[in-house]
Amino acid sequence: MAFPYTSDKQKADEFLYEFLLSTKTDPDLFEGWKNLNMIVGVQIIDLGLGYTINCTSGTDVVITKGFPEKPQAALKLNIDVFHNLYIGKLNVVWAFSMRKIKTEGNIASVMKLTSLQPRGIKLYKDYLKAKGLPE
């Protein structure tokens, strides 16, 4: 199934923002983000949405709507790529190598988080289920 809100930008934004916030509830994902010690931008190109993941405090991860002006690392992808990564239908390393995820800045640090992808997949699938949405 495709991402459920491709035709409703506001619902897509709320859904994605809430999901990104939920990653802080998983101890391993939270530690992974926190240890990056940088500002990461995530841009959903086809929906015109952006998010800032500020991992610079050393104790917290602050996630806000809006793509940062000067991210230290940026990930730019379409919503179907995002969705397929998080339902486990698309391999994250393959997506990077095939440029399905366009990158800028210090991506080497962000790539270290690929080992946490199975945790992100479980969290996303649980999130979809909680919202009454199919994969």
Digit-coded pLDDT (tens) for 51-81:
999 999 999 999 999 999 999 999 999 999 9
* CATH match of 9-126 with 3.40.50.970: no
Note whether 49 and 11 are within 8 A (CB). Answer: no
pLDDT of residue 110: 85
pLDDT of residue 23: 95
pLDDT of residue 53: 97
Q: How confident is the model at residue 120 (pLDDT cuts 50, 70, 90)?
A: very high
pLDDT of residue 7: 94
Q: Which ranges in the chain belong to alpha helices (H)?
A: 9-22, 27-34, 79-86, 92-97, 107-111, 117-130
Domain boundaries, the chain: 9-126
Q: How confident is the model at residue 135 (pLDDT cuts 50, 70, 90)?
A: confident
> Which residues touch 98 (CB under 8 Å, ≥6 apart)?
none
Angstrom CA distances, 37 to 28, 53, 76, 96, 128, stand at 15, 10, 20, 21, 29
1, pLDDT greater than 90: no
Q: Report which residue type is found at 124.
A: Y
Provide the Cα torsion 113, 117, 122, 126; round to 10°.
70
